[in-house]
A and B are shown apart, each in its own frame.
Chain A
Amino acid sequence: MSIKRLSAAALAGVVAAALVAFAPTASAASDRTVKIAGWGAKSGPLRSFGVNSEAVLKAAVQAINDAGGVKLGDGTMADMELDYHDSACNADQAISVARKVESQSEALIGIGPTCSGAAAAMYGIFQKTVDDDSDTGLQFPILTDTAIRPGLAKKSQWTFRNVPNEITMYDELFKWLREQYPDVSTIYGGTETDQAHSKLTFAIVIVPMAKKHGFEWVGGGIEGVTGAVREGYENVLEVSKSSNWLLADTNFSVQARAFKKSGADMMIVSSHPFTTCGMLKEMKRQRINPKVLVGLTSSSSAETLKGCADAAEGIYIPTGFAPITEAAAMVAAAAEANGGSADLHSAAAWENAHIIKQVVEATGVMAKPETLAEDRRKMRDGLEALVNVDGLLGEIGRVQDEGESIKPYVFVQARSGDWEVVHDPR
């Protein structure tokens, strides 16, 4: 490095340090704040999801404020302020929190909820089409971080999501598995049928995508499943086809025997950590050893490894988060410091806070009580206009007319009690 370059680097360092040092002063000078509201499951059996999201959001807001805050429309620097609410995994509570935050707080935007069922119901109370005066639905922007069931955000033009696209992820996963395991030809599996995300992802996405890449359901296939998303999905869940269970089930002997009887090369367990563990343990007991085991995105978390690391050994899952970049590793550490853990759901909360900062700065939000409605509208329009944003694993693309994201992803495999990245298609 030449002296000239070194001087330039040193100068840049000094400027950056000065900016950081003076930023709190500028921020402190402003009595305005960029208020955001978050909500998720902080009670009930899915509490870990809300705890993780809140931990990551807090860390993100802290990082933004430490770096000087958010630049408002008039050039003032303002701190970001987070209020996090408990909406459990419950549609009524999610709707109630959304209404309360919209009407009783000065939050510019909401981040949540945890569960897809709650999100689907909650999105229904928002104005469907912007500027439709006949629609009295809420006019308040939402940027969901966790609820992942495909295709939800298009319910309203005020609702947006930054969640992994499971269709793309499983499409690519089965394509990759086809290359890795050319001798694998048959598949079989099951899901928890009382959990919307597990069930629909299994029937609408996973089984069709496996079919698309040449894997055959044992016994000659399932009627109507052609390899296209959604086609024939009702038939996937028939008793004679897949072997399923419920979210709180404790006995998996019948289902595991059906798996064994199938003799499939590849087996799919599409459920959340508790029953994933119950089912995998039963499979281990019955000495079921498929050549390939595939799980649901939501099970690529610390919970699964806490519950059944030994039984989960070898399972493949696509995920939108792994601490494989400097930024992602930093977020993982920050989440842990805040009492949570970063996974494919909660890590999105970090990205969301930074997306909000970007949109506030791009649209000239004023963050004054008298401009609240106008600012919320600016946030919505800003989110809709986004084309690409920086994510923890790389660039996040947007599907503007659907309010959805196209996130980078990797494939992980459970190995010796840890999730290891086995394929990185970025």
Chain B
Amino acid sequence: MGDFWFEFVEITQTIGDGLFFGATYSLIGIGFTLIFGAMHKLNMTYAAASLAGAYVGLAAFTFVNAPALVVFLISALASGLIGLVVYVACFRFIPVNNHLAALMASIGALFFIDEIVVHTTDGSPLTFPAMFEYVMLEVGPWGLRGDLLFVLAVSVASTVGLLYVLYRSRLGLATRAVSQQDVAARLCGIDVHRTNATTFVLAGLLGGVAGAMTAAAVGVLSPLVTVPLTVKGLIVTVIGGLGSIPGAIVAGLLVGGLENVFLYFRGVNERDMYVLLLLFVFLVFRPHGIFGSAIDRD
């Protein structure tokens, strides 16, 4: 009984930790899915821009000792601005139907942004401020990290805010209209480019929060994180369903939880293999993801 109970606590704690950490994946996934939903294009720069925003926030911490909340806010604003630049550089002037060019441009921008960060920081890991960093709430034998609870709360608040903008504002109406039929939206007098640019800024703001939350959860910021976070974001987007915000939320938590379970049972060398297998299973058997609209194979 003792062993069973111990194992039960371990496994539930493992899943719980993963779910909490998965909140950061959800935020990244939402950004990917938001842009895909609006433009039907993948913005591969998204995670790099999110982390670059976190670096700008970190600069405020380093140079003027700004408090953590201000750092998070600056991260979000900076990432929103970078999102706008990425839109102009990689999407605005590329013909709408040339998906490959936009994709390649955004991959190029990903590495460009990453190298700027590397050259500015020499690639050194830097301490990132966190809220409730060493707070651990204990519930019986389980422990809940205070900083991850904060991350989850911020993620939920950001998502609610985003959903409000999308479904209760004129901007959201315009975004959804462009997403559904951009020619019709144009005929209705909607400025498609401005709407897309605003979507990039919105996604960027959310990405900045995600970047800052990821850095805060680790306590250290490093350019090493960029590519893995990009991959996680894409996995979450596909599993959740391209274009589905609720899907990105659920998939982020799912990937975070399962990642920890795979790690616990199979070790780190096999962990990512199973996560990628999960992606493969979804692509083959449920290509529209958990919540995405059905895709006709033919």
Chain A residues near B (Cβ < 8 Å): 41, 43-48, 51, 193, 238-239, 244-251, 253-255, 257, 261, 273-274, 277-278, 281, 284-287, 302-304, 306-309, 311
Does B180 touch A at the CB level, under 8 Å?
Answer: no
Determine the chain A residues whose CB is within 8 A of the CB of B123 once the complex forms: 41, 44-48
Determine the chain A residues whose CB is within 8 A of the CB of B219 once the complex forms: 277-278, 281, 308, 311
Residue pair A308, B220 in contact (C-beta under 8 Å): yes
Q: Select from chain A the residue with minimum beta-carbon distance to B259.
A: A251
A44-B118, A254-B260, A254-B264 given; A285·B136 CB < 8 A: yes
Interface string of B105-148 (1 = CB under 8 A from A): 00000000001001100111111000001101000000101000
Helix, strand, loop or mixed for chain A's interface?
Answer: helix
Q: Select from chain B the residue with minimum beta-carbon distance to A340.
A: B122
Out of B125, B227, B264, name the residue touching A274 (CB < 8 Å).
B125
Interface string of B213-256 (1 = CB under 8 A from A): 01001111011110111000000000000000000000000001
Question: Could you list 15 further interchain pairs (A-B, Cβ under 8 angstroms) beyond the known A44-B123, A286-B136?
Answer: A41-B123, A47-B122, A193-B269, A239-B266, A248-B225, A250-B217, A250-B225, A253-B17, A253-B145, A254-B264, A274-B125, A284-B134, A302-B124, A304-B125, A307-B124
Interface size of B as a range: 35 or more
Residue pair A285, B122 in contact (C-beta under 8 Å): no
A248 to B114, CA, bound (A): 14
Out of A43, A193, A273, name the residue touching B124 (CB < 8 Å).
A273
Does B32 touch A at the CB level, under 8 Å?
Answer: no
Determine the chain B residues whose CB is within 8 A of the CB of A246 once the complex forms: 268, 272
A245 to B143, CA, bound (A): 21
A244-B267, A274-B224 given; A251·B126 CB < 8 A: no
Residue pair A281, B118 in contact (C-beta under 8 Å): no
A296 to B153, CA, bound (A): 36
Determine the chain A residues whose CB is within 8 A of the CB of B191 once the complex forms: none
A244-B268, A257-B10 given; A45·B127 CB < 8 A: no
Residue pair B13, A257 in contact (C-beta under 8 Å): yes
Interface string of B256-277 (1 = CB under 8 A from A): 1001100110111100100000
Q: Select from chain A the residue with minimum beta-carbon distance to B120.
A: A47
Does B18 touch A at the CB level, under 8 Å?
Answer: yes
Does B45 touch A at the CB level, under 8 Å?
Answer: no
Does B14 touch A at the CB level, under 8 Å?
Answer: yes
Residue pair A307, B220 in contact (C-beta under 8 Å): yes
Residue pair B227, A248 in contact (C-beta under 8 Å): yes
**Closest CB-CB distance, A122 to chain B, in whole Å?**
21
5 sampled A-B residue pairs with Cβ under 8 A: A238-B267, A251-B17, A281-B219, A303-B124, A307-B124
Out of A193, A245, A250, A273, name the residue touching B214 (CB < 8 Å).
A250
Interface centre among A41, A261, A278, A286 (most CB of B within 10 A): A278
Residue pair A277, B122 in contact (C-beta under 8 Å): no
Give the 6 A-B residue pairs with the shortest CB-CB distance, closest first: A239-B267, A307-B125, A47-B123, A253-B17, A48-B122, A274-B125
Determine the chain B residues whose CB is within 8 A of the CB of A303 once the complex forms: 124-125
Determine the chain B residues whose CB is within 8 A of the CB of A257 once the complex forms: 10, 13-14
Q: Select from chain B the residue with minimum beta-carbon distance to A252.
A: B218
A130 to B232, CA, bound (A): 49
Does B21 touch A at the CB level, under 8 Å?
Answer: yes
Residue pair B224, A248 in contact (C-beta under 8 Å): yes
A103 to B224, CA, bound (A): 33
User: In the complex, how many residue pairs between chain A and chain B have their CB atoms under 8 Å apart?
Assistant: 118
A273 to B122, CA, bound (A): 13
Residue pair B223, A45 in contact (C-beta under 8 Å): yes
A273 to B121, CA, bound (A): 14
**Closest CB-CB distance, A281 to chain B, in whole Å?**
4
Interface centre among A51, A251, A287 (most CB of B within 10 A): A251
Out of B13, B124, B134, name the residue touching A306 (CB < 8 Å).
B124
Residue pair A285, B133 in contact (C-beta under 8 Å): yes
A261 to B9, CA, bound (A): 12
Interface centre among A250, A261, A303 (most CB of B within 10 A): A250
Determine the chain A residues whose CB is within 8 A of the CB of B125 once the complex forms: 273-274, 277, 303-304, 306-308
Q: Select from chain A the residue with minimum beta-carbon distance to B215.
A: A250
Q: Select from chain A the residue with minimum beta-carbon distance to B268.
A: A244
Determine the chain A residues whose CB is within 8 A of the CB of B229 once the complex forms: 250
A302 to B122, CA, bound (A): 12
Q: Select from chain B the residue with minimum beta-carbon distance to A240.
A: B267
Interface string of B192-232 (1 = CB under 8 A from A): 00000000000000000000001001111011110111000
Residue pair A250, B268 in contact (C-beta under 8 Å): no
Residue pair B222, A45 in contact (C-beta under 8 Å): yes
A168 to B179, CA, bound (A): 64
Determine the chain B residues whose CB is within 8 A of the CB of A253 once the complex forms: 13-14, 17-18, 21, 145, 260
Residue pair A45, B13 in contact (C-beta under 8 Å): no
Residue pair B17, A307 in contact (C-beta under 8 Å): no
**Closest CB-CB distance, A310 to chain B, in whole Å?**
9
Determine the chain B residues whose CB is within 8 A of the CB of A274 once the complex forms: 125, 220, 222, 224
**Closest CB-CB distance, B23 to chain A, in whole Å?**
11
Out of A41, A255, A281, A287, name the residue touching B136 (CB < 8 Å).
A287
Out of A45, A250, A278, A287, name the residue touching B118 (CB < 8 Å).
A45
Residue pair B127, A307 in contact (C-beta under 8 Å): yes
Residue pair A307, B126 in contact (C-beta under 8 Å): yes
Determine the chain A residues whose CB is within 8 A of the CB of B10 once the complex forms: 257, 261
**Closest CB-CB distance, A54 to chain B, in whole Å?**
11
Residue pair A281, B17 in contact (C-beta under 8 Å): no
Out of B118, B122, B225, B268, name the residue touching A193 (CB < 8 Å).
B268
A247 to B126, CA, bound (A): 15
Would you list which residues of chain B between 148 and 171 have a CB under 8 Å from chain A? none
Determine the chain B residues whose CB is within 8 A of the CB of A51 once the complex forms: 122
Out of B18, B118, B214, name the residue touching A47 (CB < 8 Å).
B118
**Closest CB-CB distance, B142 to chain A, in whole Å?**
11
Q: Select from chain B the residue with minimum beta-carbon distance to A190.
A: B268
Q: Select from chain A the residue with minimum beta-carbon distance to B217.
A: A250
A277 to B228, CA, bound (A): 18
Q: Select from chain B the residue with minimum beta-carbon distance to A278.
A: B218
A48 to B143, CA, bound (A): 36
